[in-house]
A and B are shown apart, each in its own frame.
Chain A
């Protein structure tokens, strides 16, 4: 097996889309923070982006088959890291999610997302049947179930949820049978009350305030309401860069990170939203296209795992901003400020590039 060569084999369209999304993010982070104590955040974000791009190209050079070879070891490392976080992790905002690496606090669960994409791709690639058997489905479920439980324990409901679409999309492409899908949905619905029972009080509160936002005027209901006010008041044309009152006066919660879409929508209006969501759609469709052109099932699963994770991020984050889903703390890929999340996206795209570079190679 020969390594891929020239730079022209990279997906430059994908890079261009990513660059555009990152630019929107940096612009809005600047707008949301330039007049506040958080001034300078956009330069920090640019630093993360640069690191991310370097890592992306680096990862693309290592044949993904070699990476997937190490899937069992990566899985064990991931589980060990999650356990380590629970034991010695750094607590921020009431949750143990961070461990210090290279002088920065990194969220281990972001790394685990990447590992699970690789492990699931390996697992499904090794399924030889056209139809996914119940046995294999349960195995896949268990592979995801363990890290999911550990992440829930941190607690980080948002990241834990991201593992689900990876499983669902992988199983779907591996030939999930409709009767199994129906059974899973049925069991899932029946398990809802049990899940409710195990939820943390703040998580329950978020769900209730999502269902009855008027009853919680200052909690997460307040956050969603303020976000909707920001989005709605932006109108079609937006209030202009740096002119969003909800954004500039701090009514939008974490306006530079989880709710950055709200700030963007206020200042740039529906036309700006059209641009941003158009870019995300292009990104996701481009990923699917890369999957379609992958050399083998392993590469296809890898790319679609990335697409599932990013698509889920976009859906849950943007739906939260317009009040269509509860507040979960899932950032918007490449627009929200955040080191670990940005690195995760670039590493994931690095895997995609990796698959692409090797599509014609035998």
Chain B
């Protein structure tokens, strides 16, 4: 060994002591760092650890069902799985997107579009990339949990409607909430949530939606659920189910009656305003929208010439034709202008202000001498031309308005249309011109500018036959605040007008073929021109598009009716031929059921229902939902919309 170290024992004791202090200082500093994290900020990090550990998966609350008046299920739910994409890790999403698209059978471009569309949403919010998972999808997700930890399945409740568009314009449909709705909801709605988009689904959305619950699971750092670690969960509160006034039996008759036709039917109980049946055709099948409606399908529905998305009962604003004569007759008898004894000779036409106005009896020798009774029974235009000319547009529009036309009836559906009752101020306001006296002649027989919706005509005829009691039409059974309007009509007026409508059916009037044995079935036909006679002669001879709209508003019994049915068949030709038989069938079904019930033979449960592809509507039972105690099987009473009528 060489002695390079020379037993040199000069040790730098001061500097070694300094090193000890450095060590103590270093450890102290580190301990201070731990003190800060573990004592001062401990709560904050505790929460962060909890957020790491626990993943919250929503439990979707089922939407409330809709029942008919006898408790039969009209709108129901069924369970299904949605595929969620977790987007926290953008790089992993980017990397796995092709595999995901391939595995779920989605187009990669669509998936990318969806991602860029939802870029603005917070990253921790998963998005629904496939609303309805197939068993193959479920298998794909489960088998790739480790290598594609971005997919999660969410149990959702899909809406199930009766097939074939049954009652679809009344029920409406649900759809995924739009981004605007999400923003407006203050965090209550999430992407992929469903909300009512139209009809009763939209009207009573707040009742029907439940409160989603939350399932909390422990997940490890690669997102795998730790099944052995259980956490409390917040149960979903199902939406409240609502009972409707709809009578399934009548609805079924009405649906069948309009199959393949274009038109609308609404049946009301004028004593209460309850809607018994409600059909608009053509109708989309809302089941098609319950998952996710494709852009093409939506465009097709919107551009369809037959307007399947339009709710004709409340939105078809059409000339009422001769049904309007009931307004005229009521006004005349009430105002005594002209007096009741007023008579007219009908040669089949009349000339007013240099223009010829035809009667239905044109070319058949005319109606001869016509009184008000005869004018209603045979729907004589010439009589009402003369009455209108004497009464003047002011009185006509005042009575039309009073009897419920030109304003929304206040039915509990969104987007009702008001129709139009023309008047001098109206032409002044809209066209900036004077009222032409010739227009009064057209309006007198329900042509010209006057338009009504099917619900308005049912409301009007029901109100008059009830002696001036107008009840707000509504769907919600046992609604507490049904709007009511009293129009002062003398008993004499009501008696004569209802007698006229009785005779229309029972005394050889225009709807004589629709007579019902043993029932006071009354009504008024209407055949409304779509375009003027001259124009039709020139362009549209035989063209179905220009065929008249057929109206019939029927009711029974003659005074204080129990049911009033308004039927519109577009391009149906004569009201008596096309629409009256439909109204008759519904009134007959109503009385048949009533008779059976009276004899104790009717129970809703026994009814074999085969409609569309034959899915039966079951009798309501307790929904098999997650949380029994909070389940509300009871009918829900809610406020109806405030009736916007003038008086």
Contact = CB atoms under 8 A, between A and B. Distances in A.
Interface of A: 1, 63, 65-66, 68-69, 122, 125-126, 128, 130, 169, 172-175, 218, 226, 228-236, 245-246, 249-251, 265, 269-270, 273-274, 277-278, 280-281, 284-285, 288, 291-292, 294-298, 300, 304, 307, 311, 314-315, 318-319, 322, 324
Interface in B1-46: 1-2, 4-5, 7-13, 15-17, 19-20, 23-24, 26-27, 30-31, 33-35, 37-39, 41-42, 44-46
Interface residues of B, number: 46
Contact of A65 (B5, B31, B91): B5
A175 B10 CA distance: 11
Contacts of A122: 4
Interface string B612-627: 0000000000000000
B19 A236 contact: no
Contacts of A277: 27, 30-31, 34
B49 interface: yes
Given A273-B34, A288-B23, A233 B222 contact: no
Nearest to B12: A173
B53 interface: yes
17 contacts: A130-B10, A172-B19, A173-B12, A173-B19, A218-B89, A229-B45, A232-B42, A232-B44, A233-B42, A233-B49, A234-B42, A236-B39, A236-B42, A249-B218, A296-B8, A298-B5, A322-B33
B481 interface: no
A173 B226 CA distance: 55
Contacts of B489: none
B24 A175 contact: no
Given A233-B42, A250-B220, A292 B16 contact: yes
B97 to A, nearest CB: 17
Contacts of A315: 26, 30
Contact of A285 (B2, B20, B35, B38): B20
Contacts of B46: 232-233, 235
Contacts of A236: 38-39, 42
A314 B28 CA distance: 13
A220 to B, nearest CB: 15
A296 B6 CA distance: 9
A292 B4 CA distance: 21
Contact of B9 (A66, A278, A297): A297
A69 B84 CA distance: 69
Contact of A249 (B11, B45, B53): B53
Contacts of B42: 232-236
B49 A230 contact: yes
A297 B8 contact: yes
B48 interface: yes
Contacts of B226: 249
A69 B222 CA distance: 53
B219 interface: yes
The 10 A-B pairs at the shortest CB distance, nearest first, are namely A232-B45, A233-B49, A250-B221, A249-B220, A232-B37, A281-B27, A270-B38, A322-B33, A235-B42, A298-B5
Nearest to B89: A218
Given A231-B37, A319-B33, A322-B34, 5 more contacts: A65-B5, A231-B45, A281-B27, A291-B16, A300-B16
B89 A270 contact: no
A169 B19 contact: yes
A251 B30 contact: no
Contact of A231 (B38, B53, B219, B220): B38
B118 interface: no
Nearest to B26: A315
Contacts of A296: 5, 7-9
B52 interface: yes
Nearest to A246: B49
Interface string B386-413: 0000000000000000000000000000
Interface string B34-77: 11011101101110111011000000000000000000000000
Contacts of A228: 37, 45
Nearest to B53: A245
A172 B15 contact: yes
Contacts of A295: 7, 9
Contact of B222 (A66, A250, A273, A291): A250
A284 to B, nearest CB: 5
A223 to B, nearest CB: 11
Nearest to A63: B1
Nearest to B19: A288
B26 to A, nearest CB: 6
A292 B49 contact: no
Nearest to A324: B33
A265 B33 CA distance: 12
Contacts of A246: 49, 52-53
A319 B45 CA distance: 17
B24 A285 contact: yes
Nearest to B48: A229
B38 A66 contact: no
B324 to A, nearest CB: 71
B4 A126 contact: yes
Contacts of A298: 5, 8
Contact of A66 (B1, B35, B220): B1
A343 to B, nearest CB: 24
A66 B8 CA distance: 16
Contact of B34 (A69, A249, A265, A288): A265
Nearest to A230: B49
Nearest to B18: A172
A226 B89 CA distance: 16
Given A228-B45, A280-B27, A297-B5, A251 B39 contact: no
A281 B23 CA distance: 7
A249 B15 contact: no
B19 A304 contact: yes
B39 A235 contact: yes
A6 B46 CA distance: 52
Contacts of A322: 30, 33-34, 37
Contact of A232 (B38, B53, B221): B38
Between B2, B20, B27, B34, the greatest number of chain A beta carbons within 10 A of the residue's beta carbon is seen for B34
A169 B38 CA distance: 32
Contacts of B218: 245, 249
Contacts of A318: 30
A233 B45 contact: yes
A85 B284 CA distance: 74
Contacts of B16: 173, 288, 291-292, 300, 304
A165 to B, nearest CB: 11
B196 to A, nearest CB: 38
Contacts of A128: 8
Given A250-B221, A311-B26, A292 B13 contact: yes
Between B13, B15, B222, the greatest number of chain A beta carbons within 10 A of the residue's beta carbon is seen for B15
Contacts of B50: 233, 245
A246 B47 CA distance: 12
A311 B10 contact: no
Contact of B10 (A65, A226, A249, A297): A297
Contacts of A169: 19
Nearest to A307: B19
Nearest to A291: B16
A117 to B, nearest CB: 15
A235 to B, nearest CB: 4
A218 B91 contact: yes
Contacts of B19: 169, 172-173, 288, 304, 307
B228 to A, nearest CB: 10
A277 B38 CA distance: 15
A294 B11 contact: yes
Contacts of B12: 173-175
A304 B17 CA distance: 12
Contacts of B5: 65, 68, 125-126, 296-298
A190 B37 CA distance: 34
Contacts of A232: 37-38, 41-42, 44-46, 48-49
